[in-house]
Amino acid sequence: MNTPDYDLIVIGAGIQGAGVAQAAAAAGYRTLILEQTAIAAGTSSRSSKLIHGGLRYLESLQLGLVRKSLRERDILLDIAPALVELVPFYIPVYRETTRRPWQLRIGLSLYALLGGLQRRDRFHVLSRAEREALPAIRKDGLTTVFRYYDARTDDAALTRAVAASAVALGAELRCPAAFRRAKVSEEGVILEYEESGESRAVSGHALVNAAGPWVNAVLEQIRPHVAPRAVDLVQGAHLVLDAPAPRGVFYVEAPQDRRAVFVMPWQGKTLIGTTETVFEGDPAKVAPTQAERDYLLEIWRHYFPASKDTVIDSFAGLRVLPRSEKSVFHRPRDTVFHTSHHGNRVLSLYGGKLTGYRATAEEALAYLKGVLPPATPRADTRTLRLEPVETS
């Protein structure tokens, strides 16, 4: 093979692919990113839209993930102030809530510690007057309300901003352009994709498979064949309710099964989610099931009984979780890096959080260093500003 067309080819313009393309372009690599549908068309527009450490991951002792995510949250608050905002999170405790105030105090203290004990990480117990002044939420049986601060975003807008930053740094984006197959040798990768009904071929030193729920479908089309990792696709649904947006995020316990569920502001209305339903089938067809709608509406009516319960929109996304005997709740939520093919020229990304995309991208480049040529860095993603992109 002569000099390949690109240093790195990235499949998928969800947050992970956009993040890797941005980090690669910032590091000075000639980068191509292929997206089959639209930027953030997959899971990256169907998340809970929180940029957070994930208080609930303390229950499954994922301390490293929480610490890393809180660090990334702080970076994003600095570099993307128009896209990521700090908001109050409220945890109401009722007489019947299983997570007791002492447990929540320990959890929130540990969360603050992992966040570096900054001012923004301190939590507070609302006074009776503050509690009573909270609009809409049921007051009957309410004994304590904790408030802490975390961040939220528009996930699709954040992904578009990261992709635009990658392009501004020199990455080439082809969209819609669908990866079809690739062949990997000691010299590099030759890849075929389809754009505007035509088949095109390009070459690269390395390939990042950031196809989200399609990760194994992509891996299956790479020769020589390697066994993909066994994963479960776990669907999470959200409902948009025709109720005024709450002034913060409410972190409530589902009365049915005690899972933590969020009630959040979203585009002037209320968003509630999420669920955990094992999914099989075509990822492009994922949609909330009737059982998920009923489950989320029951939670909404339980905690916000006086509010309207008209559903005006709904969506579902897919988590990619390593297959294991553990319950979905207890499976690790950090990205799994899977390297394969001649000298590890192919890196497949499984799972991960929206919040941690930047750190994941830097780690991905570290995995590929051995197969990428020398390059001169152009920028540092820790300080590169992200701006919203106009959409027509």
Give the binding site for ligand FAD (CB under 6 A).
Answer: 11-17, 34-37, 41-44, 47-50, 178-179, 210-214, 218, 236, 274, 317-319, 352-355
State in angstroms the smallest separation of the CB of 190 from ligand FAD.
16
For residue 66, CA distances in Å to 16, 47, 53, 78, 376 come to 18, 17, 4, 19, 32
Q: How far is the CB of 48 from ligand FAD (least distance, A)?
A: 3
Whole-number minimum distance, CB 160 to ligand FAD, in Å? Answer: 12
DSSP string, 156-200: HHHHHHHHHHHHHTT-EEESS-EEEEEEEETTEEEEEEEETTEEE
Q: At what angle do helices 101-114 and 63-79 cross, to 10 degrees?
A: 60
Q: Which CB atom, from 40 or from 384, has the smaller least distance to ligand FAD? A: 40
CB–CB of 280/308 below 8 Å?
no
If the CB atoms of residues 28 and 213 are measured against ligand FAD, the closer one turns out to be 213
Least spacing, CB of residue 2 vs ligand FAD, in Å: 25
CB of 27 to ligand FAD, least distance (A): 19
| Closest distance to ligand FAD from the beta carbon of 249 (Å) | 10
Check whether the bond before 3 is cis (ω within 30° of 0). Answer: no
Task: Identify whether the C-beta of residue 150 lies closer than 8 Å to the C-beta of residue 50.
Answer: yes
Q: By CB neighbour count within 10 A (0-12 exposed, 13-18 middle, 19+ buried), where does 122 fall?
A: middle
CB-closest chain residue to ligand FAD:
14
Chain CA centroid to CA 352, Å: 6
Residue located via tokens 């093979």: 1
Nearer of residues 42 and 188 to ligand FAD, judged by Cβ: 42
Give 76 or 142: the residue with its C-beta nearer to ligand FAD. Answer: 76
In the complex with ligand FAD, the residue whose CB is nearer, 108 or 219, is 219
Give the shortest CB-316-to-ligand FAD separation in angstroms.
Answer: 7
Return the structure tokens found at 196.
């505007």
Question: Which residue's CB is nearer to ligand FAD, number 49 or number 345?
Answer: 49
Our CB check for ligand FAD shows the closer of 41 and 364 to be 41
Exposed/middle/buried for residue 343 (C-beta within 10 Å: 0-12, 13-18, 19+):
middle
Q: Which stretches of 53-99 are assigned E, i.e. beta strand?
A: 84-94
> Which residue, 142 or 381, has its beta carbon nearer to ligand FAD?
381
DSSP state of 213: G
Write b or e for each residue in 173-190: b if 16 or more Cβ atoms lie within 10 A of its Cβ, otherwise e.
Answer: bbbebbbeebbbeeebbb
Beta bridge partners of 262: 251, 273
Nearer to ligand FAD among residue 142 and residue 171 (C-beta): 171
240 half-sphere exposure, CB direction, 13 A CA radius: 12
Q: How far is the CB of 99 from ligand FAD (least distance, A)?
A: 19
Tokens linked to 57: 């991951």
Least separation in angstroms between CB 210 and ligand FAD: 5
